[in-house]
Structure 1
């Protein structure tokens, strides 16, 4: 049934507006101050103070600047915390540019792989259209970084510092995506013309060499051997010679990356809890670690994060950071803006509804470094962001537990904190997870 808006409808709508109490005052306030400032709650600012019953000392925050590397910064931040403490190096950072280089390089090859796999499909198929929408970008997920580290290791920031294009990545992304789409034209034509595997591989190798050159010009040459030289907080000088990125990781971090499991809270009907999921065409390193998400209910999800914090280990997490948040003061709270009361409109949706209808998905990765437990329950969480120290409390944010429930979608937990039955699910389903469509919201990349 088609329904057009009539003149009588408009008259009724205008009459309803004029009969709304204080409508003229509200209208002036919103017109002059905008929606969020008018709807902002001072009660939220009072409740979200930076005091926590469990709090890790993690030092100064990092700054991803104008790039979408939050997932990378967050993961490397969880790893640097141990180095800072063990070796007494205040505010030490790992090179985000080094992992950025290899991520761009591997994503390009991953794109080529998917172009060739879908070369027989029409160019307007949903899968090909999805692939061409963003051949590569800055965003990623935890498993993607562990795949990079397993293959390439990591290095200190001093060994491969930031460049213009790592800190401000728009130009590089534009160049790479132009090239990758052009390469997709060539690959699809080769397949259509019946080229042999050897011919296609020769072209692919040439194109990867061109990608490498673009990355070397913009991000620099990734080191293969280096000396790690530093002065600790006691002013003592240290130098460790002839390290490789892999030996540096083994010596200074030494994590068993396979011990860490991505846990999601995706309460949609198509994802029963206590099962393992992956996402088609999501990844970066061919032959490397693949994405595996264990879907759990929100209470179990939070208790695992608390358990890891209680053990003194920070927690990588992914959320929809733009929802109910004040970036400048660093508050993430469902009560910070009362838009329902402002407009006298019911905006409420369940977490599942927001996912199903495109209202929300994971956009940003940060690190949990504290939690406030009152009467045995979490009330608010301390968050280490990667937007520099000019926002929040010197770069640290605070999230209400209600906001955590609604807008946190992923945490990474050491499997030793999981109960035996969930560890068994991972073991039994790891090689045969449920495969989600490429556009499923649980395949979104953290990129804010």
Structure 2
């Protein structure tokens, strides 16, 4: 066993210097990297050829949306899949749903369920790992597909023209800072009430007051969403349409009517056992709403279901680690885009399972699959609709190599129709609950 608490003395520091001096071309590499940056020095010039944006299946999806300085990708991606279907059905190519509308209600619902979690764990110390998890991110923007689907099921949707973006929805940093402070203080006070044996009525009244304050802050920041609106638009053939006095739920039922309960999240998390359904109740955002569940399968099964979805003319939501091996400007996602190990002559390779286990990987972003290039029935690259506006990639679209999908895609959402009978049977098995800090959070 190696000796612990060894200080770096002059001898060891000299060894570090001597080792660097003995590396072949060390001065040249230092010049190249310091003057050009790590990514520019490490980028593979052949990536442009591999990622030529031509696809054998390429769905026509129009202009991309832009989440700007907010963490609402999970909402944008779900609403992208819904607006693509709306556009196809009603011939309105660049129609857009209001992402801010679902975001508003997520803030209210998430505060409400946060109070439940705080009260349920009030007997635990403040430094308990679960309590720390809830306190660390009470007002965050990010979320899962099921959270977005649950909001749609409860609140419906509305056109972006009815409830458009504002300064605080396009840059949520100030609102998030206020809401995090608000919810942490609320959590502290609720814990104090429980631990001083306050009566149930006092706790209930305090919680109601707190939620009213959350609603007030959110309404002041984003504007209160309308309860009814008029749907008014011209289709691609310039025909005029008007439908007045719709609620968001009526609009969804009449014009969208997608059964979100017929969809399933397929995960590829090789740090866990395959052919199991996992749940993540710590991130559920609606009391009594849709539950977060993952059917964990090998990547080949995710790809097969995704290809079938695209072949049927439907786009799909997928969760990924977008900051890995990505060029924002060029819109490249390629597992071999940057050769870091070769550049530094240091082995940086890790398996997907190890990266998840040791926190090198995370599901950091959601985007939309809109195409795939099949060669001899095998995927070579995928077309991705991002929500970062038209100034990134190819007018907002990215090209993802198939090996990037293997390495950095963790979830795809597909209809149950595309599952095999054995896979459908797994959905009826007992579900395994994940810890709040699990890699799929």
Is it true that 1:146 corresponds to 2:144 in the alignment? no
Is it true that 1:363 corresponds to 2:364 in the alignment? yes
**Which stretches of structure 1, 4 residues or longer, exceed 4 Å deviation after superposition?**
none
Distance 1:424 1:259 in 2: 14
Q: Aligned to 1:29, what secondary structure does the other structure show? A: helix
How far is 1:116 from its partner?
A: 0.3
Q: Aligned to 1:208, what secondary structure does the other structure show? A: helix
Is it true that 1:29 corresponds to 2:32 in the alignment? yes
Q: Aligned to 2:112, what secondary structure does the other structure show? A: helix
Distance 2:151 2:89 in 1: 24
2:281/2:292 contact within 8 Å kept: no
Distance 1:131 1:359 in 2: 22
What does residue 381 of structure 2 align with? Answer: 380
What does residue 314 of structure 1 align with? Answer: 315
- Give per-residue Cα distances to partners, 1:386-413, cap 9 Å, x unaligned: 0000000000001111110000000001
What does residue 332 of structure 2 align with? Answer: 331
- Give per-residue Cα distances to partners, 1:185-225, cap 9 Å, x unaligned: 21111111212222211111111111111111111111211
Q: Give the alignment's TM-score, normalised by structure 2.
A: 0.98
Matches within 5 A, 1:192-271: 192-268=195-271, 271=272
What does residue 46 of structure 2 align with? Answer: 43
Is it true that 1:81 corresponds to 2:81 in the alignment? no
Distance 1:421 1:407 in 2: 26
2:156/2:248 contact within 8 Å kept: yes
Q: Runs of 5+ in structure 2 lacking a partner?
A: none
1:111/1:136 contact within 8 Å kept: no
For 1:183, which of 179, 186, 189 is the aligned residue? Answer: 186
- What RMSD, in angstroms, separates the aligned Cα atoms of the two structures? 1.1
2:108/2:215 contact within 8 Å kept: yes
What does residue 446 of structure 1 align with? Answer: none
What does residue 113 of structure 2 align with? Answer: 110
Q: Aligned to 2:283, what secondary structure does the other structure show? A: coil
- Give per-residue Cα distances to partners, 1:83-111, cap 9 Å, x unaligned: 11111112110000100100011111111
Is it true that 1:99 corresponds to 2:97 in the alignment? no
Distance 2:50 2:82 in 1: 31
Distance 2:274 2:35 in 1: 46
How far is 1:15 from its partner?
A: 2.5
How far is 1:4 from its partner?
A: 3.7
Distance 2:174 2:143 in 1: 19
1:45/1:336 contact within 8 Å kept: no
- Give per-residue Cα distances to partners, 1:33-64, cap 9 Å, x unaligned: 11111111110122101001111110000000
Q: Aligned to 1:160, what secondary structure does the other structure show? A: coil
**More deviation, 217-226/63-72:** 217-226
Q: Give the alignment's TM-score, normalised by structure 1.
A: 0.96
Q: Aligned to 1:183, what secondary structure does the other structure show? A: helix
Distance 1:388 1:134 in 2: 27
1:154/1:245 contact within 8 Å kept: yes
Distance 1:312 1:406 in 2: 26
Is it true that 1:408 corresponds to 2:409 in the alignment? yes
Q: Aligned to 2:111, what secondary structure does the other structure show? A: helix
**More deviation, 18-27/311-320:** 18-27
Q: Aligned to 1:276, what secondary structure does the other structure show? A: strand
Distance 1:335 1:211 in 2: 45
Distance 2:174 2:217 in 1: 12
1:61/1:386 contact within 8 Å kept: yes
Q: Runs of 5+ in structure 1 lacking a partner?
A: 444-448
What does residue 131 of structure 1 align with? Answer: 134
